[in-house]
Amino acid sequence: MGREWDDDILSMSTDLAVGDRSEHLVCPSCGGGDSGERSMLIYCTAEGLFYKCYRVKCSLKGKVGAMGYRPTTNKVRKPKLHTRMLDPEPLPDDVLDWWLDYFWWADEEMLMINGVLWSEPLERVLYPIKSLTGTHEGYLARLYDDLVLNESNLRGSKAKAYYNTLLKDYRLTCMMTPHMAQFEDYCVVVEDYPSALRINTEIPCVALSGTSVQEPTLMELVKGGKRKVCFVLDADATAKAAQIVYNYGLHFEHLTFVPLYGKDPKDMEDDDFKVLVTAIKEQLRI
Ligand SMILES: [Zn+2]
């Protein structure tokens, strides 16, 4: 197997840390066949990225060596994609209608005030990557299958990060901070931006710009002056969250987490969401 797909694999795995497995992706070789099946998985290990397409007709598999990707141990997030590729524009009316229908708890002002935009070339919604201190560094371009007309835009991972600068040693934020979430000394941390927008209607909340909580995440919270922090994570991340609390608890007045057993906050029914908000407030003692 040649190196033909290395660049595709790398661009599809920019958010993976060692030990992570990707979500189900569209294979760059077979495109998932007629149905665009998400048949590819990428495993990130210390030895490199192992990838495999599970469609029998394709069975593309291989490895991109450890030199080919960002080792997560050096704690520097090296950006690969520039925001100039996005051609950002305000959300077109049809996209806005779809988004507000899909996330029924949101309103147009929430999107405007937070600078949520659209990329027509990529047909993706752009969520701002913004540090806790307000520095805007780029966009997370999120794919929603319903919004894609050009099928070639279905390729790649569901979320890709694009940055305003590609300086090699630039330490990028780990956070996506909605408007107003930076002004209290407490906050909630969730895994996706729409969930952060929703929780932010009740309690200051930020989203992770990557897929896992790492040391720089904690350090940014400390630097951002957060004294009380509540992680709201999938229940299967509970062991990791407990480890975080154990390792970093001393940096905070209060560091805690609430496990999610069902839907993400963005998808919760209103009643379940209220229960979650109450649980978070109890944990944060606010
Ligand atoms: Zn394939």
Q: How many domains does the chain have?
A: 2
What digits encode the pLDDT tens for the residues 205-238? 999 887 677 777 887 888 888 999 999 988 877 7
| Domain contains 165 | yes
Q: Do residues 253 and 280 share a domain?
A: yes
What digits encode the pLDDT tens for the residues 237-262? 777 777 777 777 878 888 888 989 98
pLDDT band of residue 71 (cuts 50, 70, 90) is very low
Expressed in angstroms and rounded, the spacing between residue 70 Cα and the centre of ligand 1 is: 24
Quote the pLDDT of residue 170. 52
Q: Which residue has the higher pLDDT, 38 or 4?
A: 38
What digits encode the pLDDT tens for the residues 93-110? 999 999 999 999 999 999
CA 154 – CA 145 distance, rounded (Å) = 7
Expressed in angstroms and rounded, the spacing between residue 266 Cα and the centre of ligand 1 is: 31
Tokens describing residue 217: 């995440």
Helix (H) or strand (E) holding 42: strand 40-45
Q: Do residues 25 and 110 share a domain?
A: no
Q: Do residues 175 and 125 share a domain?
A: yes
Expressed in angstroms and rounded, the spacing between residue 148 Cα and the centre of ligand 1 is: 21
| Domain contains 100 | yes
Domain boundary residue among 73, 105, 123? 73
| Residue 75, pLDDT above cutoff 60 | no
- Round the average pLDDT of the chain to a whole number and report it: 85
Strands 40-45 and 61-65: unpaired
Percent residues over pLDDT 90 in the chain = 42
Expressed in angstroms and rounded, the spacing between residue 35 Cα and the centre of ligand 1 is: 12
Q: Do residues 166 and 147 share a domain?
A: yes
Expressed in angstroms and rounded, the spacing between residue 154 Cα and the centre of ligand 1 is: 14
Q: Do residues 69 and 79 share a domain?
A: no
Quote the pLDDT of residue 1. 46
What digits encode the pLDDT tens for the residues 39-64? 999 888 777 788 999 888 898 998 88
| Domain contains 1 | no
Quote the pLDDT of residue 76. 46
Q: Do residues 84 and 194 share a domain?
A: yes
Expressed in angstroms and rounded, the spacing between residue 33 Cα and the centre of ligand 1 is: 8
Expressed in angstroms and rounded, the spacing between residue 264 Cα and the centre of ligand 1 is: 29
Q: Do residues 62 and 153 share a domain?
A: no
The parent domain of residue 20 ranges over 6-73
Quote the pLDDT of residue 167. 61
Q: Do residues 227 and 237 share a domain?
A: yes
What digits encode the pLDDT tens for the residues 144-193? 999 999 999 998 888 888 888 766 545 567 788 888 888 899 999 998 99
Sequence-separated contacts (24+) of 235-241 with Cβ below 8 Å: 235/259, 235/260, 235/261, 237/212, 237/213, 240/212, 240/213, 241/213
Domain boundary residue among 25, 52, 73? 73
Expressed in angstroms and rounded, the spacing between residue 40 Cα and the centre of ligand 1 is: 7
Expressed in angstroms and rounded, the spacing between residue 49 Cα and the centre of ligand 1 is: 16
Q: Do residues 241 and 265 share a domain?
A: yes
| Residue 73, pLDDT above cutoff 60 | no
Quote the pLDDT of residue 22. 85
The CATH number of residue 276's host domain is 3.40.1360.10
pLDDT band of residue 67 (cuts 50, 70, 90) is low
Expressed in angstroms and rounded, the spacing between residue 23 Cα and the centre of ligand 1 is: 15
| Domain contains 256 | yes
Tokens describing residue 167: 């300086």
Q: Do residues 63 and 82 share a domain?
A: no
Tell the residue number behind the tokens 């909605």, with chain if given.
178
Expressed in angstroms and rounded, the spacing between residue 53 Cα and the centre of ligand 1 is: 5
Domain boundary residue among 73, 100, 120? 73
Q: Do residues 241 and 159 share a domain?
A: yes
Q: Which residue has the higher pLDDT, 47 or 194?
A: 194
Contacts of 65 (CB under 8 A, 6+ apart): 47, 48
Quote the pLDDT of residue 234. 85
| Domain contains 212 | yes
Quote the pLDDT of residue 168. 54
CA 107 – CA 91 distance, rounded (Å) = 13
Q: Do residues 115 and 125 share a domain?
A: yes
| Domain contains 133 | yes
Quote the pLDDT of residue 236. 78
Say if pTM beats, i.e. exceeds, 0.85.
no
Expressed in angstroms and rounded, the spacing between residue 248 Cα and the centre of ligand 1 is: 42
Quote the pLDDT of residue 169. 47
Quote the pLDDT of residue 92. 96
